[in-house]
Amino acid sequence: MSTLVLVGTQWGDEGKGKVTDVLSESADVVVRYQGGTNAGHTVVVGGERFALRQVPSGILHGKDCVIGNGVVFDPGRFLEEIAELARRGLDVSRVRISDAAHVIFPYHLRIDQMGEDRLGPARIGTTRLGIGPAYMDKVARTGIRVGDLFRPEYFRRRLAQALTRANERLEREFGSPGFHLEQLLAEYEGYARRLEPFVTDTVAFLNEAIDAGRRVLFEGAQGTMLDLDHGTYPYVTSSYPTAGGACLGSGVAPTRIDGVLGVAKAYTSRVGDGPFPTELTDETGETIRERGREYGTATGRPRRCGWLDAVVLRHSALVSGLGGLALNHLDTLTGLHPLKIAAAYELDGRVTERLPRQVDDLARARPIYEELPGWDEPVEEARSFEELPEGARRYVEAVERLSGVPVVMISVGPEREQTFARRDPFQMTRETARRKA
């Protein structure tokens, strides 16, 4: 197996960065295929914390890193991130950016922020980083792609058109001053000069890498429940964090994808608004938040926390064809009794095992929990399934039974060494995914 897609199975922040970091060791190329600066991957290496936004976590292993066409790309923030990584001694020369990725401009951020403020309590709770408006421009065919930055005449024409629309919107809808064309052109032409060495046709690069038998890891951002189509619409992001998004966002065909690994936390968290059936607003939720350090990497917002939801995991397995699960943050649950996992929901007096498709139904759904005794022994030192206390093993087995997906990796702490594999995720076969679906 040479291509593996890694997807978040919940509402993002499942610890995909850490899993990618571990798997990067046996990968040759790591690709981001959707989202943008809204992603925040925190990876701890040797006690040092790296907060990555746009650069794939493979950078920490010196692997080839690709920012695919499906990403919305913020050049200013990228250059800051690269400078910081270089300052900390990492080789950034192997980062490649797709010439077809769409570019985020300051007006996208302002429209995002003002739009959210105006919605008041009906807001989505976005990261306010311009992601939605940048994807809106892409779909409206008014967006500007990375490759356009290197064609001065064309870039000027496209930016002038896009800016007229954006300024009209800002001034008329929000009463906010607009942006100046010449200033933006100067700023982005400056970025273009510095970006040039990184920009390439990543579709060709990736397909040639696969032809050559190199291992490619697709690093999803956000999670299934934030997918534009398969998440809790409208409380979603504007891209496709599910497995299909990896193909769209990279130019690698579905027939070339060998496996899909889902990443889940041993509990659930959500930032932003929208329904969350297993949310805990009590002391247990607070304990999980504190122990799990559940504060947003991109925004610093406290995350909403709750029990694991197997209805969500099954939905994710269905839409992404998961062959295995990486289960993170098992250590966070030590000492909590009993532990609960939502096995199904009760909705208007009926039991359902499937995720309700409408957001108002999901908001009314009441979880039906399966309880597990939990454990008190520390798990941080465990390096295999067998070394886990019995209560933790039972919990992992319950996750497998209720989700229908084998747990192939487990993590018991933030450090690289605290993640161990029960099976090589690159060896999961399509058959596993088919059997489980």
Closest to ligand IMP by CB, 155 vs 235, is: 235
Asked if 31 and 219 touch (Cβ cutoff 8 Å), the reply is yes
Closest to ligand IMP by CB, 118 vs 193, is: 118
Q: Is 226 in the site for ligand IMP (CB under 6 A)?
A: yes
Closest to ligand IMP by CB, 272 vs 356, is: 272
**Which token pair is 104?**
């985020």
Give the SS3 label for residue 37.
coil
Q: Which of the residues are catalytic?
A: 13, 41
Q: Applying CB under 6 A, which of residues 2, 3, 57, 127 lies at the interface with ligand IMP?
A: 127
Nearest distance, CB of residue 385 and ligand IMP, angstroms:
28
Q: Is 292 in the site for ligand IMP (CB under 6 A)?
A: no
Considering only residues 3 through 22, tell me which ones interact with ligand IMP, judged by CB under 6 A: 11-13
Q: Applying CB under 6 A, which of residues 57, 126, 232, 418 lies at the interface with ligand IMP?
A: 126
Closest to ligand IMP by CB, 297 vs 418, is: 297
Contacts of 144 (CB under 8 A, 6+ apart): 102, 103, 105, 137, 155, 158, 159, 162
Considering only residues 265 through 284, tell me which ones interact with ligand IMP, judged by CB under 6 A: 271-272
Distance CA(197)–CA(402), nearest Å, equals 48
Q: How far is CA 429 from the centre of its chain?
A: 23
Distance CA(112)–CA(179), nearest Å, equals 15
Give the SS3 label for residue 3.
strand
Closest to ligand IMP by CB, 140 vs 253, is: 140
Asked if 262 and 325 touch (Cβ cutoff 8 Å), the reply is yes
How far is the first Cα of the chain from the last one, in angstroms, to the nearest whole number?
A: 20
Distance CA(97)–CA(202), nearest Å, equals 7
Closest to ligand IMP by CB, 237 vs 334, is: 237
Q: Applying CB under 6 A, which of residues 10, 20, 98, 237 lies at the interface with ligand IMP?
A: 237
Q: Is 225 in the site for ligand IMP (CB under 6 A)?
A: no
Contacts of 261 (CB under 8 A, 6+ apart): 4, 5, 6, 7, 19, 23, 322, 323, 324, 325, 326, 408, 409, 425, 428
Q: Which residue is nearest to ligand IMP (CB)?
A: 272
Asked if 325 and 366 touch (Cβ cutoff 8 Å), the reply is no
**Which token pair is 300?**
């610093």
Instruction: Count interface residues toward ligand IMP (CB under 6 A).
Output: 21
Nearest distance, CB of residue 294 and ligand IMP, angstroms:
11
Closest to ligand IMP by CB, 129 vs 344, is: 129
Nearest distance, CB of residue 304 and ligand IMP, angstroms:
10
Nearest distance, CB of residue 269 and ligand IMP, angstroms:
8
Q: Applying CB under 6 A, which of residues 9, 98, 222, 316 lies at the interface with ligand IMP?
A: 222
Q: Is 132 in the site for ligand IMP (CB under 6 A)?
A: yes
**DSSP per-residue letters across 63-99:** -EEEE-TTBEE-HHHHHHHHHHHHHTT---TTEEEET
Nearest distance, CB of residue 302 and ligand IMP, angstroms:
12
Q: Is 250 in the site for ligand IMP (CB under 6 A)?
A: no
Asked if 329 and 410 touch (Cβ cutoff 8 Å), the reply is no
Q: Which helix (H) or strand (E) holds 95?
A: strand 95-98
Asked if 91 and 131 touch (Cβ cutoff 8 Å), the reply is no
- Which spans of this chain sit near ligand IMP (rule: CB under 6 A)? 11-13, 38-40, 124-127, 129, 131-132, 221-222, 226, 235, 237-238, 271-272
